[in-house]
Chains A and B, each alone.
Chain A
Amino acid sequence: MLTRFVLPRLGWAVVTIMLATMLVFGAMQALPGDAATQILGQNATPEAVFTLRRQLGLDQAPLERFITWLGHALTGNFGTSLVSGQPVGPEVGRALLNTSFLAGITIVVGFTLALVLGLVAGLFRDRWPDSLISTVALVGMSIPEFIVATLLVLMFSITIPIFPAVVVAGQNATIAELAPSMPLPALSLMFVASAYIIRMMRTSVIDVMETDYVHTARLKGISMARLVVKHVVPSAILPTLNVVAMNVAWLIGGVVVVESIFNYPGMGSLMIQSVQSRDLPTILLITVIGAMTFVICNLLADLAATLLNPRLRYPRNSK
């Protein structure tokens, strides 16, 4: 299992992350002007730009710079921010911690709730709880995070002012300082990210309820609670885990929008800032983290699929 399934995938994961970083690096090379002109502004003398460019290593060929970057990156040195002059690692690390906190709440609370809602909808198929939950899921699938966030602010910051509309704690705020302004960003993310999970859980609960072993269990007179806990949830949750894993990767996009709306000092805000200021080292580290999230989620999704269908473990014999 380990050597045949996990190791080759891990190898490809590393290649994928490297290629993804290279693509972003390449795209950034096409930018007119570079960080040196960006930092010094319009009125800088050519000499000053030249000197700074040398200091930043921008005078080398792109491929050479990418290889240098890669070599350093493999030893954990991701360079210094072209804007703040500080090492990129700790800066991105702080943002990552804040984002993980926000995403963590969303995943733990939102995804659990989504699984429960999907289960309820599946068990009450075509009756009112199902209609209600399915409609909520459809709306969640259909409205972008910025609309959910805007409406939540209208409801809970303007109409009934109970939650702050923006995070006022600064860039270096601790988690404890951020916590009070958490509810609205987390709710916005939860609503959108849960939609597909609710849907998938509902579908797979319905599928499981139709199987022979569930019919048999019901005919034997098993209690509903026992049926759900023992038979329905374990079988229905596996295909759903796949969607859960994909959703974690999708969360990245939502995080960017939500953080920018609420001024939350995380990866999303940092991403927008660093793209705007063309801060390549920061962008590259964000790309690495983003690609890693995607690859790990994909790997977990594959694992879930394999656990579900043992035939996939040996692809060559499956035909």
Chain B
Amino acid sequence: MTSPTIVVESTQVGRGFWTDLSRVIRSILRSKPATLGFALVTLHVLLAVFAPLLAPGNPTSNNPAAVLQFPGGAYPLGTDTLGRDILSRTLYGGQYALTVSFASTALAVLLGTIIAGLAAFYGGWLDQVITRLLDSVLAVPAILAMLVLVTVFGSGPEVIVLAVVVVYTGGVTRVVRAAAMDIMPKDYIVAARARGEGVFYILSREVFPNILDVVLVEFAMRASWVVLLVSSLSFLGFGANPPTPDWGLMVAENRSLMAVVPLATLAPIVFLATLIVGLNLAADGLAKSLGVDRMKEILG
């Protein structure tokens, strides 16, 4: 503990990953809305994972003998026009929404963070080119880009993931780049550069750990938007293919019969809404406990 460098090292060791994690978790549990948010998201994950055990029937099997049934008996929430069990379809619906949204958000945030790191590290013309190019991608209305990509490549889940990555990576990059730019002039990075450390070392050991809070909030926030966008796409007929059990698709299928079997429309609506409310509350709680300004992140 004689030279100043060692002091810097020891403070960094002092705020270790696990200490930070437990602090964040405690701060989230102290806030009721944040706890509710994480509970809702966990509940939805569990429902989707255990849907095969929980669902009373098969979500895609038609039953011409039991079309548009009222709730009761073998069909707790009734059936749709093809005689499919609404409860089973609703329970299974989370699988598509959660996997597609989680995979695409994770990919977009990962890719965006790497691009942002490189842009911030190298700066200069590379940074300019990346920023301008991503601005152009952002300028294409998200929904139009998705419609075009789905029309070109078909509407399989992997295409939806790709389309979300195309549409959202630019936004993630913008936010993360700003955060990375803020810490680039800091002494520990200048020192690492002076030591002659490579780009991989500096980004993975110095830059990313120090902007992890921004990246995490970005992930939580984007996740809620992606669920929203993916379900809207399914609703428009450009997302999940029938007969996939998907909430957006279910609303589209059953909307015209709302006066006859309201639950066929309302059940997926309730599931989708609670999932996104949960994601939003969780994102708020995470932002607050990490000290990140969420509105600033939205504006990029």
The residues of A that contact B74 with a CB separation of less than 8 Å are none
Q: Classify the interface of chain A: helix, strand, loop or mixed.
A: helix
Residue in contact with B144 in the complex, picked from A139, A150, A158, A271, CB distance below 8 Å: A271
Q: Using A153-B258, A154-B258 as known contacts, say yes or no to A253 and B147 having CB atoms under 8 A apart.
A: no
A68-76, A286-294, A306-314: which lies at the B interface?
A286-294
B144 touches A290 (CB 8 A): yes
B265 touches A150 (CB 8 A): yes
Q: Is A276 an interface residue (CB 8 A)?
A: yes
Q: Is B53 an interface residue (CB 8 A)?
A: no
A145→B279 CA distance, assembly (Å): 17
A23 touches B259 (CB 8 A): no
Q: Is A252 an interface residue (CB 8 A)?
A: yes
A27 touches B295 (CB 8 A): no
A318→B252 CA distance, assembly (Å): 52
Q: Is B191 an interface residue (CB 8 A)?
A: no
A150 touches B258 (CB 8 A): yes
Q: Is B1 an interface residue (CB 8 A)?
A: no
The residues of A that contact B228 with a CB separation of less than 8 Å are 142-144
Residue-wise interface mask of A (241-252) relative to B, using a CB-CB cutoff of 8 A (1 in contact, 0 not): 011001000001
CB neighbors of B among A151-188 (8 A): 151, 153-154, 158
Question: In the complex, how many angstroms separate the beta carbon of A296 from the nearest chain B beta carbon?
Answer: 10
Report the interface size class on chain B.
Answer: 35 or more
A253 touches B143 (CB 8 A): yes
Residue in contact with B295 in the complex, picked from A203, A272, A275, CB distance below 8 Å: A203
B258 touches A278 (CB 8 A): no
Q: Using A16-B136, A24-B145, A143-B273 as known contacts, say yes or no to A275 and B251 having CB atoms under 8 A apart.
A: no
The residues of B that contact A203 with a CB separation of less than 8 Å are 295
Q: Using A16-B132, A153-B258, A275-B148 as known contacts, say yes or no to A257 and B137 having CB atoms under 8 A apart.
A: no
A31 touches B144 (CB 8 A): no
Residue in contact with A256 in the complex, picked from B136, B143, B281, CB distance below 8 Å: B143
CB neighbors of A among B140-191 (8 A): 140-145, 147-149, 151-153
Question: In the complex, how many angstroms separate the beta carbon of A31 from the nearest chain B beta carbon?
Answer: 5
A15→B265 CA distance, assembly (Å): 45
The residues of A that contact B132 with a CB separation of less than 8 Å are 12, 15-16, 19
Q: Is A147 an interface residue (CB 8 A)?
A: yes
B273 touches A147 (CB 8 A): yes
B138 touches A257 (CB 8 A): no
The residues of A that contact B149 with a CB separation of less than 8 Å are 27
B255 touches A150 (CB 8 A): yes
A19 touches B136 (CB 8 A): yes
Residue-wise interface mask of B (183-207) relative to A, using a CB-CB cutoff of 8 A (1 in contact, 0 not): 0000000000000000000000000
A246 touches B139 (CB 8 A): no
The residues of A that contact B272 with a CB separation of less than 8 Å are 143-144, 147
Q: Is B90 an interface residue (CB 8 A)?
A: no
A31 touches B152 (CB 8 A): yes
A272 touches B148 (CB 8 A): no
- Name, among B135, B136, B224, B279, the residue most crowded by chain A CB atoms within 10 Å (CB to CB): B136
The residues of B that contact A246 with a CB separation of less than 8 Å are 298-299
B265 touches A142 (CB 8 A): no
A141 touches B140 (CB 8 A): no
A205→B136 CA distance, assembly (Å): 33
Q: Is B101 an interface residue (CB 8 A)?
A: no
Q: Which residue of the partner chain B has the closest CB to A31?
A: B152
Residue-wise interface mask of B (254-281) relative to A, using a CB-CB cutoff of 8 A (1 in contact, 0 not): 0100110010010001001100110111
The residues of A that contact B232 with a CB separation of less than 8 Å are 144-146, 253, 257
Q: Using A153-B258, A246-B299, A272-B147 as known contacts, say yes or no to A27 and B138 having CB atoms under 8 A apart.
A: no
Other contacts beyond A23-B140, A257-B236: 5, CB < 8 A: A16-B136, A143-B228, A147-B269, A256-B236, A257-B232
Q: Which 4 A-B pairs have the closest CB atoms?
A: A19-B136, A290-B141, A291-B139, A142-B276
Chain B residues near A (Cβ < 8 Å): 132-133, 135-145, 147-149, 151-153, 224, 228-229, 231-232, 235-236, 248, 251-252, 255, 258-259, 262, 265, 269, 272-273, 276-277, 279-281, 295, 298-299
* A-B residue pairs in contact (CB < 8 Å), sample of 18: A12-B132, A15-B132, A19-B133, A28-B148, A143-B272, A143-B273, A144-B228, A145-B232, A147-B272, A147-B273, A154-B262, A243-B299, A256-B143, A275-B144, A275-B148, A290-B141, A290-B144, A294-B141
